[in-house]
C-alpha cells in the first residue's frame, strides 16, 4: 500500500472527484488488469483509449483513476478522479514514486541516435563492468539484470516497466544502468520521471518518419534533443551536421567526440585492419588524454561507436587498459557479429533491415577490398513495399552477389516479397540468386564462399525466430550455421 498523495508528489493535477487522502494497492495502466484498490492510469493508445474503461474501473472498485479529460463515473462510486494535462507524462512520475525512485540509486546512462545505440550500450556495459561496476542494460534486444536476460518488445519500455526494471536492478545490487532511448520513447515520455546522469547522441539521419512514428524530420530531431534537456552531462557526435539542432535548449554540460580535431575527443591515424577472417579498425585518440585502440568490428561507424564509449567511460575514470581490452573483444549479438566458419572468408550477421542501414554496411565493407561482397537478405511482410525495391537496388549496386531469401513473411507469401526485391535489383547490373528457404540460402553462401569473400547475412540480426502467419517459429541464424557446418562436415 502507498499513499496516493505520495504517488502524485511530482505531478501537477486537479481533483475532479473524491479525495487523494487514500491508499493505493497497485498502479495499473492496462484496463484488463484493473483490480480493487488500484490507481488506474488512462492511456490513449493506437487501438484503445483507457478513458473508455473508467466506468469498468469504478465497478471493479479501483481506488482512483488518472485521466486527461472529463469522464463519467457512477454516482454511488467512491473512486477518486484525478485530472492531469498528459497521462503518459504523469505516469512516468507516478511510476517512479511507486517504485521508490530507483533511478536516484543508480548512475543512469541514456543513448539516443539513429544508428549505433545497441552496439554502444553493450560496449559501455562491457568496459564499465571491467572497472568493477555492476551494470544493467535496457535496449532493442533485451533487458539484462545480473544473469537475467528478458527479450524486449520496444527499444525503450513504457515508463511503468522502465521504473520496474530500475527497481529490480537496485534490488539485485547493481549501481549503473545503460539504456537505449528511442525518439518514440522521448516523444511519449517513457523516459521521464528522473534525470539521466549521462545522455549520449550517436548520430541522426532520416528514419522513423511515418503515420505511426514522426510526422517529419524536424519532429524527429526535436525528440532526439529532448534527452539533453533531461541529463546532467551530454556526450555527442560533434561531426554530425544536425548536432547543433539536437542540442538547442540543452541544459547539460556537453562533451563532443568525432574525427574533427575541434571535438573534445577525436580520432586520427585510422587504419582498417584485416587479419584473416577478422575485420577491424586501428586508431589513435587525441584530446585531454591520448591513446591507441583497436576495435574488432569493421567500418568507420565502429570508430564512432568506440569514440563515444571511450568518452563516456573516461568520465568514470575507467582504466585505459580496460577500455582497450573491451574494444578488442567487442561482440554485440546481431550487430556486425562475426561468426567464424572459415579462415578463407569472413561471415557476419547484422540487423540491417532497411536500405539506409544496408547501404552504410556495404559501403563500409567495400573499404576492406574483399574479393567479393556476398549479401544475403529478405524483407519483412506486412511492411512498406518500397523497402523491398530499395534494398534490392542497394544490394544489386553495392554487393558483388546477392542471395535473396525469406525474412519474416508474416501474412504475405514469401515469393511475392522476393519478387519485389528482384524488381529493385533488376534496376542494377547486380548478379543474384533466389533461395526462399533461409537455411538453404545460408548453406549456399557458405559452400560457395571464396578466398577473401565477405558474406553478410542481413536483416535478422539478434532475432531468433521467423514469423509466418502470426506464429513465431524458432530460427536463429547462429544455430542454422552450426547445423550446416555439422551436416556438411565443415570444421570452422
Instruction: Please report, for the domain that includes residue 7, its CATH number.
Output: 3.40.1390.10
CA distance to 137, 234, 257, 260, 321, per residue, from 237 (Å):
22, 10, 5, 10, 24
Q: What's the pLDDT at 310?
A: 96
What confidence tier does 326 reach under pLDDT thresholds 50, 70, 90? confident
**Residue 465: CA count within 13 A, CB half-sphere:** 10
pLDDT of 149 higher than 60: yes
The mean per-residue pLDDT over the stretch 80-95 comes to 98
Residue 33's pLDDT is what? 97
For residue 364, give the C-alpha cell. Answer: 563500409
Region 339-359 average pLDDT: 94
Residue-wise pLDDT tens digits, 102-136: 999 999 999 999 888 999 999 999 999 988 999 99
The answer to whether residues 68 and 115 belong to one domain is no
Lowest mean pLDDT among 212-216, 242-246, 354-358, 402-406: 212-216
What would the pLDDT profile of 222-254 be if each residue is shown by its tens digit? Answer: 888 999 999 999 999 999 999 999 999 999 999
Asked which of 328, 346, 372 is the last residue of a domain, the reply is 328
Are residue 414 and residue 475 in the same domain, yes or no? yes
Burial class (CB in 10 A: 0-12, 13-18, 19+), 224: buried
The angle that helices 355-366 and 300-315 make with each other, rounded to 10 degrees, is: 100
**3-state secondary structure (DSSP) of residue 247:** coil
| Among 328, 356, 377, residue at a domain's last position | 328
What percentage of the chain exceeds 70 in pLDDT?
A: 98
**Do 87 and 110 reside in the same domain of the chain?**
no
Which DSSP category does 211 fall into?
T
Range of the domain at 342: 337-488
Band of the pLDDT at 220, cuts 50, 70, 90? Answer: confident
308 and 344 fall within a common domain: no
Q: pLDDT tens digits, residue range 25-67?
A: 999 999 999 999 999 999 998 889 999 999 999 999 999 999 9
- Which CATH number does the domain housing residue 482 bear? 3.90.190.20
322 lies in the same domain as 431: no
pLDDT at 218 exceeding the cut of 90: no
Return the pLDDT at 285.
97
Beginning with the edge strand found earlier in the chain, give each strand of the sheet holding 39-41 in spatial order: 14-17, 80-83, 64-67, 39-41, 27-28
Residue 471: the pLDDT is: 94
Examine the domain organization and report whether 215 and 302 are in the same domain. Answer: yes
Grade residue 215 by pLDDT with cuts at 50, 70 and 90.
low
309 and 402 both lie in a single domain: no
Is the same domain home to 270 and 153? yes
Are 476 and 346 in a shared domain? yes
The tens digit of pLDDT for each residue in 365-377 reads 999 999 999 999 9
How many whole angstroms separate alpha carbon 236 and alpha carbon 244? 10
365 and 231 in one domain?
Answer: no
Q: Identify the CATH number of the domain in which residue 217 sits.
A: 3.40.1190.10
Which whole-number Å values give the CA distances from 289 to 235, 284, 319, 320, in the listed order?
16, 11, 12, 10
- Going by pLDDT thresholds of 50, 70 and 90, the confidence category of residue 350 is very high
Residue for grid cell 549505433: 116
Do 226 and 197 meet the contact criterion of CB atoms below 8 Å apart? Answer: no
* Number of domains into which the chain is organized: 3
pLDDT of residue 222: 87
Cell numbers describing residue 259? 574525427
Give the pLDDT of residue 214.
Answer: 56
Among 57, 83, 98, the domain-final residue is 98
The answer, yes or no, to whether residue 307 has pLDDT greater than 60, is yes
Mean pLDDT on 254-277: 95
Please report which confidence band the pLDDT of residue 207 belongs to, taking 50, 70 and 90 as the band edges: low
Residue 322: pLDDT over 90:
no
Q: How much is the pTM?
A: 0.90
306 and 358, same domain (yes or no): no
pLDDT in tens, 433-488: 999 999 999 999 999 999 999 999 999 999 999 999 989 999 999 999 999 999 99
Read off the pLDDT band of 100 (50, 70, 90). very high
Mean pLDDT of 376-381: 97
**Residue 212 pLDDT > 60:** no
Residues 199 and 268 in one domain: yes
Amino acid at each position: 500500500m502507498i499513499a496516493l498523495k505520495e504517488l502524485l508528489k511530482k505531478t501537477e493535477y486537479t481533483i475532479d472527484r473524491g479525495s487523494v487522502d487514500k491508499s493505493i494497492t497497485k498502479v495499473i495502466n492496462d484496463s484488463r488488469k484493473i483490480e480493487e484498490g488500484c490507481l488506474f492510469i488512462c492511456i490513449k493508445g493506437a487501438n484503445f483509449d483507457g478513458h473508455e474503461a473508467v466506468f469498468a474501473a469504478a465497478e471493479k472498485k479501483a481506488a482512483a483513476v488518472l485521466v486527461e479529460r472529463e469522464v463519467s463515473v457512477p454516482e454511488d462510486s467512491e473512486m477518486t478522479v484525478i485530472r492531469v494535462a498528459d497521462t503518459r507524462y504523469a505516469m512516468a512520475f507516478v511510476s517512479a514514486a511507486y517504485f521508490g525512485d530507483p533511478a536516484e540509486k543508480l548512475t543512469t546512462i541514456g543513448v539516443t541516435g539513429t544508428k549505433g545505440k545497441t552496439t554502444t550500450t553493450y560496449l559501455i556495459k562491457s568496459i564499465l563492468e571491467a572497472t568493477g561496476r555492476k551494470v544493467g542494460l535496457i535496449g532493442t534486444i533485451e533487458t539484462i539484470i545480473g544473469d537475467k536476460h528478458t527479450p524486449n518488445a520496444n527499444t525503450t519500455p513504457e515508463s511503468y516497466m522502465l521504473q520496474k526494471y530500475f527497481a529490480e536492478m537496485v534490488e539485485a545490487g547493481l549501481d549503473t544502468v545503460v539504456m537505449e532511448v528511442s525518439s518514440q520513447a522521448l516523444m511519449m515520455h517513457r523516459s521521464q520521471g528522473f534525470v539521466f546522469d549521462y545522455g549520449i547522441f550517436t548520430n541522426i539521419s532520416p528514419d522513423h518518419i511515418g503515420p505511426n512514428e514522426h510526422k517529419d524530420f524536424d519532429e524527429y530531431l526535436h525528440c532526439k534533443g529532448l534527452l539533453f534537456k533531461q541529463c546532467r552531462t551530454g556526450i555527442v557526435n560533434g561531426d554530425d551536421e544536425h548536432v547543433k539542432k539536437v542540442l538547442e535548449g540543452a541544459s547539460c554540460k556537453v562533451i563532443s567526440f568525432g574525427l574533427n580535431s575541434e571535438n573534445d575527443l577525436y580520432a586520427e591515424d585510422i587504419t582498417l585492419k584485416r587479419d584473416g577472417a577478422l575485420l577491424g579498425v586501428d586508431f589513435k585518440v587525441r584530446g585531454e588524454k591520448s591513446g591507441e585502440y583497436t576495435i574488432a568490428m569493421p567500418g568507420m561507424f565502429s570508430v564512432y561507436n568506440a569514440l563515444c564509449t571511450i568518452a563516456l567511460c573516461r568520465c568514470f575514470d575507467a582504466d585505459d587498459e580496460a577500455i582497450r581490452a573491451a574494444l578488442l573483444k567487442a561482440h554485440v549479438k546481431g550487430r556486425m557479429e562475426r561468426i567464424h566458419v572459415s579462415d578463407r572468408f569472413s561471415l557476419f550477421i547484422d540487423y540491417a533491415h532497411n536500405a539506409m542501414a544496408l547501404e552504410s554496411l556495404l559501403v563500409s565493407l567495400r573499404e576492406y577490398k574483399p574479393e567479393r561482397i556476398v549479401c544475403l537478405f529478405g524483407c519483412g511482410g506486412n511492411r512498406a513495399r518500397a523497402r523491398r525495391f530499395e534494398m534490392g537496388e542497394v544490394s544489386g549496386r553495392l554487393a558483388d552477389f546477392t542471395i535473396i531469401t525469406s525474412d519474416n513473411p508474416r501474412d504475405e507469401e514469401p515469393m511475392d516479397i522476393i519478387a519485389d526485391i528482384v524488381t529493385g535489383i533488376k534496376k542494377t547490373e547486380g548478379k543474384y540468386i533466389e533461395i526462399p528457404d533461409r537455411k538453404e540460402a545460408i548453406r549456399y553462401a557458405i559452400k560457395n564462399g571464396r578466398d577473401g569473400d565477405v558474406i553478410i547475412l542481413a536483416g535478422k540480426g539478434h532475432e531468433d525466430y521467423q514469423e509466418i502467419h502470426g506464429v513465431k517459429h524458432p530460427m536463429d541464424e547462429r544455430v542454422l550455421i552450426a547445423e550446416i557446418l555439422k551436416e556438411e562436415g565443415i570444421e570452422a
